[in-house]
Amino acid sequence: MGTEIVKKSSMATPFADPRTGQLYFRRAIPEPLRAAFGGMRERKITLGTKNPVMAKEPFARLNAEFERDLAEARHKLAEGTLLPTPGAVVRRWCESAPTNGGLSGQQRLLLTLMELDAGVGGRFSANPKQIYPPAITGPAVNTDWNAVLDEPSRFAGIVTDVYGGEAEQVGTNWIRSRWHESGNAWHPHLLQAAERLRRFVPEAQRFSTEEIAKALLAVLDEQRPADEDFNRARLAKRRHRPNRSRLRPNMRLKQLFDEWEDGNKPRPQTALEYRASVDDFIDFAGDIPVSAIDADLLFDYRDEAARLPSTMPRADRALPFRARVEKHGGGTPKCSPATLKKRIGALQALLTYAFQQRWTASNNGVGITIIGYSKTNKNRRSLEDHELTLLFACPLFVDPRSWNSPSRISDVTIFWLFLIAATTGARLEEVGQVALADIRRDGDIVYLDISDYALLEDGEEKSVKNPESRRLVPVHANLVAIGFLAYCNALAAAGHRQLFPDLKENKIGKKTKEASQRINRIVDRYVSKDKRLVFYSLRHTFKAKGNEANLTSKTLNQICGHALVNVGEQYGSEPRIRNLYRELHRIDFSCIDWEAIRQAVSGLKWSEVLRRGKPDD
């Protein structure tokens, strides 16, 4: 006996209801397998949230359950044991195409709701103010529903005359009785509708009226649920907007920024950069209406901004735009095309947003080119082994006597930031916000608990890039041999709670911006001036070395804090630290002269280093 091959289907992301924004798990069910699913054409289950991040876990769980149910249904289909159920019969009745000039499946479902509206009537025992939607008169109780079933014109007449042409109003009285009265009030009417279905569908006669009624109720509850917000959205009538223009000719740039920020909820750093661009442009062109900003003005601003150098004293960075240009306009090297694009791009994004909201008649931010800018220029690359050798042979690592930088960020902090990142692939900001309480031990294994919460009630707030970034990260044995635990103990003895107490949050909550600048200067000086080599290159390098050591993608993702790429990898993804520690030490870091670093710092008293900011001579 042959069986039909049924292809699997999948859905990459949750489904968002366009009316309410509620997220759902939603997967189509192949027609040959629907009998195993009560006749349903799809499985749709609310995820209980409108937040895509919070929806990931329940979506993955429901998707796995659905795949198991599909597999079981395919097995039954192959065996010939997949038999119709009351649910399958009812859904076929409510979803199939019209026959012999009668009603379609959807119309038959509405007819059932009409019959129930007539049966339960507009009566209600509770306070009507507490229930939505309000009761309606409904069809006549003595309506010949068998005749309506055969004549689409009579069906359309009831929709027009009783429900004002609004099919979504059908079932209004049923909603009120079903969800707010006892079953004694509505169940007899449901049985009448179920019996009618049994008479018209031969397959249904193998089941009792009560079985058909139960299956019919499940379909009705999907179409007319008790959720008030859903029903209000479903029944909301389109209101004709007054004949007025959406254009806002007097809107100023700061007002547009506020609207954009409220509508987009950007990251704090992005909002700060956009606000700075707005302030600079206003200083350049004046606080003119957005509608008055044309392409010529934007090109002029671009040319002025291009005169600024790539760096300037900290105090001068706070100067107004024109004052900065006047003071440093001739400086070199000039700001990079990427920096210039960031300045102009912020204005372009705001103008595009205004145009998309129909607040401006045209988008004058289009076509403002930045010479030399290309998205491909942002590519970072891994460090080769000989470059790692150069980096970790520089004085910072083999000559602690050179730790005398006047920077607010100490050399000892830069020392450990480099080493931790190189051997874990961690992001700079993740390492920079580690607290001493996050450093744990499991026997002889030391590891970092990277998360976005503080163990202590008065601990500093932390953040991670995404949910997958919360993880346990083993500390390499070479770092322990160099003195990592001794450094941590010295910090605790000095009363510190952070692994790097000299890293302070800036106004957008980031700790490592200044450290990043110092680190990249070290890379430029001792390794290469290749702009693709930055601190983040250590993360790329770690991944590359992990691949060379044949670590699985799942293991590397767990150590680095990358999202697992498929649902299957997410099950059982809680890592066991000993497994991660073992896998970490399969990576070859022999290009780093660990013995030279160990000998260089072996005589250090970390407490003195922390107190003075540099080791004793």
- Which of 21-25, 456-460, 562-566 has the weakest average pLDDT? 456-460
Share of the chain above pLDDT 70, in %: 87
- Which of 245-254, 298-307, 578-587 has the weakest average pLDDT? 245-254
The 3-state DSSP class for residue 37 equals helix
Strand 471-474: give its sheet, edge to edge: 439-442, 445-450, 471-474
Q: Does position 243 have pLDDT exceeding 80, yes or no? A: no
- Show the tokens assigned to 278: 């707005």
Give the pLDDT mean for 528-541.
Answer: 89
Would you tell me the crossing angle of helices 337-356 and 268-285 to the nearest 10 degrees?
90
Instruction: Yes or no: say if 611 and 406 are a contact pair by the CB < 8 Å rule.
Output: no
Q: Does position 128 have pLDDT exceeding 70, yes or no? A: no
pLDDT at position 214 is 92
* Max avg pLDDT among 117-131, 242-256, 524-538: 524-538
Give Cβ neighbours of residue 265 (< 8 Å, ≥ 6 apart). none
pLDDT at position 464 is 43
pLDDT at position 469 is 47
User: pLDDT band at 588, cuts 50/70/90?
Assistant: very high
pLDDT digits (tens, 9 = 90+) for 386-417: 999 999 999 999 999 999 878 889 999 999 99
Instruction: Yes or no: say if 239 and 263 are a contact pair by the CB < 8 Å rule.
Output: no
pLDDT at position 566 is 43
- Show the tokens assigned to 146: 């068998």
Instruction: Yes or no: say if 25 and 14 are a contact pair by the CB < 8 Å rule.
Output: yes
Q: Does position 281 have pLDDT exceeding 70, yes or no? A: yes
Which residue in 335, 261, 332 sits closest to 305, CA to CA?
335
**What backbone torsions phi and psi does residue 447 show, to the nearest 5 degrees?**
-150, 160
More confident residue, 16 or 39: 16
pLDDT at position 130 is 56
Count CB-CB contacts under 10 A for residue 538: 28
pLDDT at position 131 is 66
Which residue in 79, 39, 37 sits closest to 201, CA to CA?
39
Q: Does position 30 have pLDDT exceeding 80, yes or no? A: yes
Instruction: Yes or no: say if 320 and 283 are a contact pair by the CB < 8 Å rule.
Output: yes
pLDDT at position 148 is 87
pLDDT at position 310 is 83
pLDDT at position 527 is 93
> Which residue is it, tokens 């993608």?
553
pLDDT digits (tens, 9 = 90+) for 545-572: 999 999 998 889 888 885 543 433 433 3
pLDDT at position 376 is 57
- Chain-centroid distance of CA 429 in Å reads 20
More confident residue, 353 or 206: 353
Q: Does position 507 have pLDDT exceeding 80, yes or no? A: no
pLDDT at position 375 is 67
Give the pLDDT mean for 369-376.
Answer: 76
User: pLDDT band at 613, cuts 50/70/90?
Assistant: low
**Average pLDDT, rounded, for the chain:** 83
pLDDT at position 569 is 41
Global confidence as pTM: 0.48
Give the pLDDT mean for 584-588.
Answer: 95
pLDDT at position 575 is 55
Rg of the chain in Å (alpha carbons): 34
Give the pLDDT mean for 174-189.
Answer: 88
Give the pLDDT mean for 35-59.
Answer: 86
User: pLDDT band at 242, cuts 50/70/90?
Assistant: low
Burial of 39 from C-beta contacts in 10 A (0-12 / 13-18 / 19+) = buried
- Show the tokens assigned to 295: 């392409």
pLDDT at position 298 is 92
Whether the link from the prior residue into 333 is cis, omega within 30° of 0, is: yes
Which residue in 176, 165, 174, 87 sits closest to 129, CA to CA?
176
Give the pLDDT mean for 283-293.
Answer: 91
Question: Could you tell me the end-to-end alpha-carbon distance of the chain, in angstroms, rounded to an integer?
Answer: 88
- Chain-centroid distance of CA 512 in Å reads 24
pLDDT at position 19 is 76
